Each structure stands twice: as structure tokens, then as C-alpha cells.
Structure 1
């Protein structure tokens, strides 16, 4: 129960890696704030957590800009009193040739994948600094670390998040707040299976030493490790949870 007495806000946690992380954190004692734009799925995640005697609340949030990020931060702090752990998980991904990408696609991905985490941190971390403790874990991607055709906007937005992770570690680490990131490889979620299909995920995963697609719970465990006191000396780390793809 390493998160007993802690409050964790997880953006984009109505499904996939976010939902798995919410359930895992709740099972380890955290009061979890589940957020997302689908109230039905959000309340299902909360109901599942509560059925196992966990603590969870749902906040409807359509994250798209600084205002929406600040609004969610304020609501979460009002519901729980404080936020000890922030998981920046909400993201969107669109793939295709650079010449085929539109300006709205570019703007939307950078808004949700970079701008929203930026202003969530700006809204919530100062209170952590005042208390002298807190944790931020950003959810990146393995493709932020190497070139892949067709992922230019998505990969570059997550590379920006990786850079922010290191900048925030330098900025907030001296004040007791740890900031790290997890970079997942191919993972079975509702979204990835719908967007890519199982065969495409398996083909992508086969390039890595693990030779398989991750389950969302496996990524959640990596997030939980970075958020726990077991990782107390880790600052500014991009933890590759990619089945070894970054090693080859």
C-alpha cells in the first residue's frame, strides 16, 4: 500500500493505460481522480475501483488548452484537498505522411500532448513545492526516441514532453518534487487496437527483444514504480517500457 494517504490525478484515465494506472494506484491505497471526456466510461472505472474498496472520483474534462488544464487542476484540488501525484497521460495521435498532415492536426496534437501537461504542471506543482513533496509522471512513447516514418507530429510532440520532463526535474527536484516519464512501446488498449489493429501492433512489437505487445497493466506498473518511494533517487528519467525496442 505504498500510496496510502496519497491523492493521484490521472488525465485521460477512462480507458487504456490511464484506466489501468488508476486501478493499480487505487489498489495500492491512493485516492484516485479519474478524468476524461467520456463520463460513462469514467464512471465505470470509478465503480470498478470502488467495488474493490478503493477510493476514486471522476471529473469530466475535455483537455485542449491552458484554460481547460487549469480548470481541471482547480476542480481536482477542490474535490480532494490536494494532489500528491500527477500523471500526465491524456494524449492523441494521428499518423501519416508529413505532406498530408493539416495545420489543425498539428495544433491539436501539440495542444493536448504538450500544452496541457505544461499547464497542468504549472497549476499543480507549486503546491507540491510548498509541501516539499510530490511526483509527476509523464506518459511519452518509444517513438519519441527514434525516427519512424509517418509519426512526425506525434513523435515530436512526445519528444517535447521528454524535454519538459528533464526541465521540470531540474526546476522542481531541489524542492522535493520528482518528475519522470514512461515511454511505452506497443500496448493493447481499446484505442490502439481500434486505430492500428492487433496484427499491426504485433508486427511492430516483433522488432523488440520481448517479441510481444504489452498489456496496459505492465505499463501501469512502470508508472507506479516511478511514482513510488522505491524510485526516490530518480529525477528526469525517461523509463523505456518498450520490450527492449530502444536497445536494438
Structure 2
């Protein structure tokens, strides 16, 4: 492991017990960071911590309901002093506008947009005071690719992309970098449960001709978290396999 890939300090990862978040947590721990893994499932959290520590890493689990602003504040307090924040937790409900009720709309914005906003507000000032820190927001291609369903989800992710660029100007002069990763379809337990075989069909729409794997997205997050990306700030990296409609020819 060279200096470009070695990480120090504490990293808070939301939604760390499955999918992209789990891959990110494992990768951060493998590179030397102490991981504060957030989730809602105590058993999955315990298994993740056990796996990390079995490989010589350091981790602890904090459960919190991100739809509750007080729970988000508690999560920030229990995480303590962090150098890396990965806002990964997200929920999606692919319904039409008439079929999206108020509770669904509020729930998606609470987890996908408000929780990151509150965590950055709670943790970024201390990063700025120390003169360093990295925040990575997991967005979605739904933020920029319109679809006939899932408008609330896409809007919640568009909001976090706008915040990513705003925070980069707010905290960037104080040594804190804020970037995002916008994945296309990724094979996770959640997407498979919701879409079934359609997950693979979605992959056929991109130039790579397949869906992404959580580890592929995690590698981008690890790059943005570390010193190799020290000149990148306010950028959202698209990881979609190459959208056919965006390419010439």
C-alpha cells in the first residue's frame, strides 16, 4: 500500500451495511481509515464490523433512522471527529407523480437530501477548522436523466448534486473537498429486489452493456477520499458505463 492509497483518521459512511456503502466501508478500512458504519439493521452492522476487524481494520457501527432529523444529529455526535464523510444512504420509490403520496415524497427527500445536508452542517465546520477533509455524496444518474416514474427520487438526487457544488465553494477554501459520484444501474440487493431481472436489462442500455458492481463505484469513492484527488473539488463523477444517447455517432 503506497502513500497515495493510505488513508488516516475516521470515515463515516451512511448506508454502510449493504451495496455500495458496504463496499465503500470495506475499502476505506482496508486503506487504513477507522470506519464508523451507519445503518438500521443491527445484525448486518455487527457482521460488517466483524468482517472489517477480522482483516485487521477498525470499525464500529451506529444505528440511526435518517428520516428523523434528531437521529441524524445523534449520528453526527456519535461519529465524532471525522476526516471523511460518505453520504451514501438513499431510498427510492419509482412511482408516478400521482402515485407518490406526501409521506413518500418527504421520506425520499429526508434521507436523500436533508440527512446529508444536516451531516455536512454538523461535521464540515470541524473539518474546516482542522484545514482538511473529504466529503463524497453518492447521487444518481436519475438526477440528470429524466424518466416517466421516480420524479421525487430524481429531484432528491438533483438536490444533493446542487448542494455538492455549493458546499465545494463554501468549504473548499478551508481545505475541505466536496465531490459526488453519480452511478447508473448497479447490482445490489436493493435494486435486484425491486427490479428483478430488469436490472440486467437496464445495463444493456449503456455502452458497456452491463450493470455496475458496488466495488466499481467504491473505487471512485476511495479515489475521491484520498490524496490522489487533491485537486478535485465540486465535481460529480458520472459512472454509468457510458450513456449511448450522450455519445456521438
Number of residue equivalences: 243
Q: Tell me how far 1:135 sits from its aligned partner.
A: 0.5
Partner of 2:134: 135
In the other structure, the counterpart of 1:222 is 220
TM-score w.r.t. structure 1 length?
0.95
Q: What displacement does 1:152 show?
A: 0.3
User: Among residues 60, 65, 82, which one is paired with 2:63 in the alignment?
Assistant: 60
Partner of 1:138, secondary structure, is: strand
Structure 2 residues not aligned, in runs of 5+: none
Given that 1:13 and 1:90 are in contact with CA atoms closer than 8 Å, whether structure 2 keeps it comes out as yes
**1:131-173 alpha-carbon deviations (Å, 9 max, x no partner):** 0000000000011112111020000100000000000001000
Q: Is the 8 A contact 2:7 2:226 kept in 1?
A: no
Does structure 1 residue 19 correspond to structure 2 residue 22? yes
Out of 28, 31, 48, the residue aligned to residue 28 of structure 1 is 31
What 5-or-longer segments of structure 1 have no aligned partner? none
CA RMSD of aligned residues (A): 1.1
Deviation at 1:19, TM superposition (A): 0.5
Please tell me whether the aligned partners of residues 65 and 115 of structure 1 are also in contact (alpha carbons under 8 angstroms). no
Q: Distance in 2 between matches of 1:112 and 1:55?
A: 26
8 Å CA contact 1:20–1:220 kept in 2: the answer is yes
Contact 2:165 2:179 in 1 (8 A): yes
Q: Deviations over 1:180-230 (max 9, x none)?
A: 000011111111111111x21111111111111111000100111111111
Distance 2:84 2:27 in 1: 14
Superposition misfits of 4+ residues, deviation over 3 angstroms: none
Matches within 5 A, 1:187-226: 187-197=186-196, 199-226=197-224
